[in-house]
Amino acid sequence: MVVRAHSSAAGALALLSEPDIVFKQHALKALNQLVPQFWAEISEHIALIESLYEFEELPKEVRDIAALLASKVYYYLGEYDEALSFALDAGNAFQAETRTYDAKEYVETVVYTFTCARTEVSSGSKIEARLQFIIETIFQRCIDEGEYKQAIGIALESRRLDIISQIYNLTGDVSLLSYAMGIVLDTGFSLSYRDQVLNFLSPLFPLPSQANSTHMLALARLHVTLNNPSITVSLLSSLVPKEKLVAYQFAFDLVEGGARDFLEGVRKDLPQGKDETKEILENLRNILGGEETVKLYLEFLKRNNKVDMLILKHSKDVLEPRSSIYHTALTLQNAFMHAGTTSDIFLREHLEWLGMATNWAKFSTTAALGVIHKGYFQQGMTILGPYLPQTGTESQIQGAMYSEGGALYALGMINAYGGGQTVDYLREALRSSQNEVVQHGAALGLGIAGMGSRNTDAYDDLRETLFSDSAVAGEAAGYAMGLIMLGSASQARAEEMITYARETQHEKIIRGVAMGLSFVFYGRQEEADDTIRLLLAEKDPILRYGGVYTLALAYAGTSNNDAVRRLLHIAVSDTSDDVRRAAVISLAFLLFKNPGQVPRIVQLLSESYNPHVRCGATLALGIACAGTGMQDAVQILEPMTKDGVDFVRQGAFIALGMILVQQSESTPSMASTRALYAKVISDKHEDPMARFGAALGQGLIDAGGRNVTISLQSRAGTRNTSAIVGMTLFCQFWYWYPLAHCACLAFEPTAIIGLNEDLKVPKFEFVSNARPSLFAYPAPATPPKKETAAKMVTAVLSTTAKVKAREKKKAAADQESMDTDEKVEVRKDTDVEMKTEEAPSSSRRKSEPASEKLANFSRVTPIQLGYVSFPSDGRYQPVRPVTSNTLIPKGTKGASSQPTKKGLVSERYAGGGGILILVDERPIEEAEFIELQPPAPPGGGPTGGAVPNGHADVADRQLHIDLSSNTEADPPEPFEYPFDS
């Protein structure tokens, strides 16, 4: 059959004027097919088409086709209201159109207009009745054809939640409930409607059990988002005691993404229990406190620390320590690489370098101890004891205030996941000190330790510090006030902070308060709109800067189209470079759940004439695509490492480190990026800011002893609050380097840790169904080879060359005539050695196994999770699946390039892993357990396995002296210049 291409719709249009109804009907049907190509030509006859619809003498079928044609023409003209009106009039003709694939885009647009119009028209009106008929028909068609997800999407848009329950009752498929929840959480629905949908879905989810726990992560996501302790307590109570393993697992999953006030509310409301249930409920309270999770991850990071000290040593050798920016760069690099490992071996081995820190570099160096020992809350006070200020007294040592302030900041980071008594200690330190540096550290530490606690006493103490109008202390107080009231959306406190920001003359304080406001409205969506409009209309660019971050954090993770549009407008129109850069960076906080969209959105921004916009594009890519290895993002960043502006190169280096963290050495551009870092850091002619960025990137790419990734999304799929806050504060290093330490709040350990029903750690093995080299740790760096000076070439006479050639020829002949056993042995050995050296690597690759066994407490990267399985004949089986049901975009590295038994996979799953409760299939057999390392004894200080027993105290005193004393040279003695007279 030959299909002739049409060059014009004129022939069909001419038939519309024919008196015969058959010709008119044929013309309308033909034009309906030609609209996509010739809508502009057909639109010139729209009046005639409308008149045919209104001509009552025509049959209903013909009039419906005319209405459908008019609807399509108006759709292509962009008049969606008119398109909707005629589509409603088209009746059966439009219903038939919904079944054709060619008109899919048109139908979806009109249906979306249906659902939007339905929420605006009055109930009982004629339009309402017509809309209702159309939507009901579409629902029925979707259900009949098994298009359940399409029906759920339309139901959510049209606010017909009864359709969701109807579909679930029909299918019994829990994944459809998870799908509905994902839509309402990850798209731009209002906060009130989101909570309405979640409350509707909550009772539909069946109770998780050992036999059916596939939806446990989705259920945890629902409860964390609802943030309603009473509903969660009811669920946990129903699981006790029959499903206690499921209850333990659910509690651990809640801790991964739950806000502190929510978890504390669940803990308090759990019943005390009796007999059998008392111990189970007590265990649940301990888990919900978060300390158990922190202890297990700390143990994992200590056991698996793979920091390559040669990389740090190289950075130390090439970065001038007396330069404050280079000293801070190496401090941050070491802190990131050792984050959570409790290993301070690098600091102890380079005490002379440590002692060169002065002023705020000393503050950062001491604060780095908090990053290294993050989560080691049992020994936090002991580790930092030599540096903390004595209660009620001011330090008399010149320069000690910087180490004291840094120690208070570090104490907050160590206790970032549960303040407890630390909050009271930091409050006392803030009140008792009159030194602004010490107050600065105490305020930052208090904000991080009390994040989201909404502690009014701590807030009042910080407000008093803010009102003292000290620029240094007030800036930190502004940040901390927002952190304490994280997500509270308190209008009274917001107005108080805005009023003070307008009155003060200190830019530092204004910036701290502006960013504090963004934390107050974290996750509050439309509740923050009034404050956002107010801040974005301010004349002060610093307040507009805060307005941008308020917009980003209020809608974090929602991919809200209006918010994205506003940020893009600000990025190209604001008069302040700082505000424009912040607007581009903020795109990452909106879109981190859809990282595949970000490279496309920032592609043009990365080529902007404005270097601040380009810099913002680098960090937006780094934050949104962190840990994915996404090559689309890397390809944009690699040319930017050669940008003509130093801070753009700095941003590109940092972003590459974020994206490539925990990627295997087989990842494209991984080896070249590592080589680039080493080259830039070594190049003394390179700009200091670029070298600073390369050092940070090198620290991020190997963060946490090469055992953590960076993720703004929790394992259950919820927003990772501490990670979002940490990366927001990290971005402020542009103004204040010590805030870069907060990146550690976004570090997520990539472990599988199994616990039995007694919450002990058994020894067991699971399988990674992929070649070991795909997910192996990077090979250790090799020391640079010493270059030997080349010998000078000497001139040789031709006669001399001839004589040497004859002698050489004669010696060779003599050698061939000798046939000894020794010669044979040498040749044999030589042959063997050559074969060993020249054995092709492909032969080793062929012999590499297709899978490997991993033990409990092993590192499992996010991509590797999709290939992990527990042997069916194994003793221990996890209560819930290892992976969640959150799909990673195909553009992500590893999504379509990893082999499985069935070949190549096109998608992979995100989330999952972490702490798993195990079912013991053979409880009668005696079990073997892993002994966790006990906490260091008090007074030992931060050993991290670096200091031999019996020498820790000496090393601590030496470290304390180097950090606390003033190492600057004395001024020269007075003298008279001899030529003055």
Strands 868-869 and 899-900: unpaired
DSSP state letter for 604: T
Question: Cβ distance 545 to 578 under 8 Å?
Answer: yes
Indicate the angle between helix axes 491-503 and 541-554, nearest 10 degrees: 160
Please name the residues in contact with 42: beta carbons below 8 A apart, sequence gap of 6 or more. Answer: 9, 13, 31, 34, 35, 49, 69, 73
DSSP state letter for 378: G
Please name the residues in contact with 958: beta carbons below 8 A apart, sequence gap of 6 or more. Answer: 351
Amino acid identity at 732 = Q
Distance CA 467, CA 502 (A): 13
Q: What is the pTM of this model?
A: 0.83
Task: Please report the pLDDT score of residue 201 as a whole number.
Answer: 94
Average pLDDT, the chain: 82
Task: Please report the pLDDT score of residue 665 as a whole number.
Answer: 84
DSSP, residue by residue, 282-323:
HHHHHHHTSHHHHHHHHHHHHHT----HHHHHHHHHHS-TTS
Strand partners, 855: 765
Note the Cα 451 to chain centre separation in Å: 19
Considering only residues 259 and 440, tell me which one the structure prediction assigns the higher pLDDT.
440
Amino acid identity at 346 = F
- What confidence tens digit (pLDDT) does each residue in 366-423 have? 999 999 999 898 888 899 988 998 755 555 455 689 999 999 999 999 998 766 688 9
- What confidence tens digit (pLDDT) does each residue in 870-904 have? 998 889 999 988 886 544 433 333 333 333 333 32
Distance CA 529, CA 592 (A): 21
Neighbours of 316 (CB within 10 A): 18
Task: Please report the pLDDT score of residue 836 as a whole number.
Answer: 33
CA distances from 334 to 316, 688, 784 (A): 10, 18, 20
Question: Cβ distance 342 to 307 under 8 Å?
Answer: no
SS (H, E, C) 113-127: HHHHHHCCCCCCCHH
- What confidence tens digit (pLDDT) does each residue in 770-779 have? 999 899 999 8
Strand partners, 899: 904
- What percent of the chain is helix, strand and coil (3-state, nearest 5)? 60, 5, 35
Task: Please report the pLDDT score of residue 894 as a whole number.
Answer: 35
Backbone angles phi, psi at 782, to 5 degrees: -105, 140
Q: Is the pLDDT of residue 292 over 80?
A: yes
Strands 876-878 and 914-920: antiparallel
Distance CA 932, CA 755 (A): 12
Neighbours of 515 (CB within 10 A): 26
Please name the residues in contact with 182: beta carbons below 8 A apart, sequence gap of 6 or more. Answer: 717, 886
Question: Cβ distance 155 to 139 under 8 Å?
Answer: yes
Which of 56-60, 87-91, 771-775, 807-811 is the most confident on average?
Answer: 771-775
Q: Is the pLDDT of residue 86 over 90?
A: no
SS (H, E, C) 394-443: CCCCCCHHHHHHHHHHHHHHHCCCCCCHHHHHHHHHHHHCCCHHHHHHHH
Distance CA 940, CA 379 (A): 9
Q: State the pLDDT confidence band at 462, using cuts at 50, 70 and 90.
A: very high
Please name the residues in contact with 719: beta carbons below 8 A apart, sequence gap of 6 or more. Answer: 257, 523, 556, 557, 712, 713
Lowest model confidence (mean pLDDT) among 116-125, 184-193, 491-500:
116-125
Instruction: Give the domain ranges of the chain.
Output: 206-289, 487-593
CA distances from 345 to 14, 156, 195, 777 (A): 87, 56, 49, 21
Distance CA 890, CA 894 (A): 8
Task: Please report the pLDDT score of residue 780 as a whole number.
Answer: 85
Average pLDDT of 237-258?
91
Question: Cβ distance 770 to 898 under 8 Å?
Answer: yes
Q: State the pLDDT confidence band at 968, using cuts at 50, 70 and 90.
A: very low
Strand partners, 762: 929
- What confidence tens digit (pLDDT) does each residue in 842-875 have? 444 557 888 999 999 999 999 999 899 999 888 9
Q: Which tokens is 267 given?
A: 């803990």
Lowest model confidence (mean pLDDT) among 530-539, 751-760, 795-804, 812-821:
812-821
Q: Is the pLDDT of residue 952 over 70?
A: no
> What residue spans of 504-645 are helical by DSSP H?
507-520, 529-536, 541-554, 561-573, 577-591, 598-602, 611-624, 631-640
Question: Cβ distance 128 to 122 under 8 Å?
Answer: yes
Residue in this structure with the two tokens 């007279």, named with its chain if needed = 981
DSSP, residue by residue, 126-174:
HHHHHHHHHHHHHHHHHHHTT-HHHHHHHHHHTT-HHHHHHHHHHH--H
Q: Which CATH architecture has domain 487-593?
A: Alpha Horseshoe (1.25)
Nearest C-alpha neighbor of 880 from the set 281, 282, 219, 292: 219
Neighbours of 503 (CB within 10 A): 10
Considering only residues 290 and 478, tell me which one the structure prediction assigns the higher pLDDT.
478
Question: Cβ distance 675 to 681 under 8 Å?
Answer: no
Task: Please report the pLDDT score of residue 950 as a whole number.
Answer: 30
Question: Cβ distance 629 to 893 under 8 Å?
Answer: yes
> What residue spans of 668-720 are helical by DSSP H?
670-682, 688-701, 703-706
- What confidence tens digit (pLDDT) does each residue in 543-560 have? 999 999 999 999 999 999
Q: State the pLDDT confidence band at 141, using cuts at 50, 70 and 90.
A: confident
- What confidence tens digit (pLDDT) does each residue in 190-245 have? 888 999 999 999 999 998 888 888 889 899 999 999 989 999 999 999 999 889 99
Q: Is the pLDDT of residue 943 over 50?
A: no
Please name the residues in contact with 940: beta carbons below 8 A apart, sequence gap of 6 or more. Answer: 382, 952, 953
SS (H, E, C) 834-895: HHHHCCCHHHHHHHCCCCEEEECCEECCCCHHHHEECCCCCCEEECCCCCCCEEECCCCCCC
Strands of 303-380, DSSP E:
none
Note the Cα 235 to chain centre separation in Å: 29
Question: Cβ distance 507 to 542 under 8 Å?
Answer: yes
What Rg do the C-alpha atoms of the chain give, in angstroms?
34
Task: Please report the pLDDT score of residue 14 as a whole number.
Answer: 83
Indicate the angle between helix axes 126-144 and 148-157, nearest 10 degrees: 160
Distance CA 389, CA 404 (A): 6
Question: Cβ distance 317 to 285 under 8 Å?
Answer: no
Dihedral angle computed from the Cα positions of residues 18, 19, 22 and 27, in that order, rounded to the nearest 10 degrees: 30
Q: Is 783 exposed, middle or buried (0-12, 13-18, 19+ CB in 10 A)?
A: exposed
Question: How many residues are given for the chain?
Answer: 981
Question: Cβ distance 749 to 858 under 8 Å?
Answer: no
- What confidence tens digit (pLDDT) does each residue in 404-419 have? 999 999 999 999 876 6
Q: Which tokens is 264 given?
A: 């504390």
Lowest model confidence (mean pLDDT) among 91-95, 624-628, 907-911:
907-911
Distance CA 383, CA 222 (A): 39
Distance CA 792, CA 877 (A): 70
Average pLDDT of 29-43?
83
Average pLDDT of 705-720?
90
Distance CA 519, CA 539 (A): 21
Distance CA 504, CA 324 (A): 30
CA distances from 282 to 271, 274, 276, 288 (A): 9, 11, 11, 10
